[in-house]
Every structure is written in C-alpha cells, then in structure tokens.
Amino acid sequence: KEEKKTPTAKPMYGNNGQKHVSHWKQTQNQNAQPAKKTRTPSKSVKFGDVTINQFERALGDNPCAGGGAPLGMRMKHMSSSKKPISVYEGSKGAKKTSDQMRIPLASRRNILMEARTPVDEWTRVEGELQAINTSRIADMNVRKYGSQFEDDERDDSAPFDA
C-alpha cells in the first residue's frame, strides 16, 4: 500500500517574529485586480387585480350582535368582479369606526326581510341570543360577587350589609 504524502506548508517567520511573505506573493497581490462590485437587483412587490365576491345576506349566528338578530352571508356568492388594485384602493373611502359599522336593529330586520328570511326564524334566533346574553351576564355576576354569597350564615333578607 503506497501513501502519497503532501508536504504541509508552514508559515515562515523572520528574525523579529513577523510572518515572512515571499517576494512572489507580494507581487502577485499587487497585480491582482480589485474585485468588481456586483449590483444586487432591487426588490419589488407588485399586486394584480382584486377579485370582489358579493354574497347574499342571511341570518347569522353571532351572539354578540347588539340586540336583535345578527347578519351573516350565504356560502355561495352571487356575483364576482375584478378591479385593478389602484381603482379598488381609490374607491374604498375613509376607514370607519366600530360605531359607524354597527347596523341598527331596524335596518338589520329590513335586510333580513329583503333576504326573504322568515320572521319566525329571526325572532326565534333573537330569543336564543337573548337567553345566551342573559346567561353570560349571570355568569359574570357570579364570578364577580360569588365569594360574597358563599358561606353566608346571615338570614336570607339581603346579600349585602347596608
């Protein structure tokens, strides 16, 4: 078995302890061309058209609707249109506050009637949501005042001392 041994180059040091660089390396470094700076391409993002799908309104199931039946939308869209993003952004208008986005009860009922939602269906949902909200309020009161009612050995006349 024959092994090839490659001599390892060791740095040479002069008398004063500094690394010795041969004349050949010095001339090679002087003749070297400076590295060309490569220009990185600029990054950009472009957006295409905006697709707008319109859905038919329907009775929703959000229990946080402020009094009355909540609005929702049907699964299948009625119409679809495309606009360039610049046109869409220009037509959006100013940002609305949460109060401006809230639809009053009478308007929601009109929307549900236009969507041909049976009155008995949305009045049933209104009743269910009212029961949910009443239950939530009762739960919050128990959590807030519950410790005052536990182990109360007083008579049942009043929960609090006057």
Give the pLDDT confidence of 99-143 residue by residue, as tens digits: 888 888 889 889 999 999 999 998 898 888 888 888 888 888 777
In a domain, 5, yes or no: no
Those residues whose C-beta lies under 8 Å from the C-beta of residue 108, and which sit 6 or more positions away, are 65, 68, 69, 70, 71
User: Rounded distance, CA 114 to CA 70, Å?
Assistant: 14
In a domain, 29, yes or no: no
φ, ψ of residue 80 to 5 degrees: the values are -140, 140
pLDDT band for 77, please (50, 70, 90 cuts). confident
pLDDT top residue among 11 and 41: 41
In a domain, 73, yes or no: yes
Highest mean pLDDT among 1-15, 22-36, 88-102: 88-102
Burial track 7-21 (b if 16+ CB lie within 10 A, e otherwise): eeeeeeeeeeeeeee
Considering only 38-52, 109-123, 140-154, which range has the smallest mean pLDDT?
A: 140-154
Say yes or no to pLDDT of 10 above 60: no
Question: pLDDT tens across 78-96, in order?
Answer: 899 999 998 998 888 899 9
Global pTM reads 0.51
Residues 22, 28: contact at Cβ < 8 Å? no
Between the CA of residue 151 and those of 62, 155, 159, what are the distances in Å?
38, 12, 11
User: Rounded distance, CA 46 to CA 88, Å?
Assistant: 15
In a domain, 126, yes or no: yes
In a domain, 53, yes or no: yes
Number of structural domains found in the chain = 1
pLDDT top residue among 15 and 33: 33
DSSP class of residue 118 equals -
Q: Domain limits at 136?
A: 49-91+100-145
In a domain, 15, yes or no: no
Note the pLDDT of residue 84: 93
In a domain, 37, yes or no: no
In 3D, which of 44, 126, 47 has the Cα closest to residue 84?
47
In a domain, 65, yes or no: yes
Note the pLDDT of residue 155: 53
Residues 53, 38: contact at Cβ < 8 Å? no
Between the CA of residue 60 and those of 81, 124, 129, what are the distances in Å?
25, 12, 11
Between the CA of residue 88 and those of 43, 48, 57, 82, what are the distances in Å?
24, 11, 22, 9
Note the pLDDT of residue 20: 52
Note the pLDDT of residue 151: 54
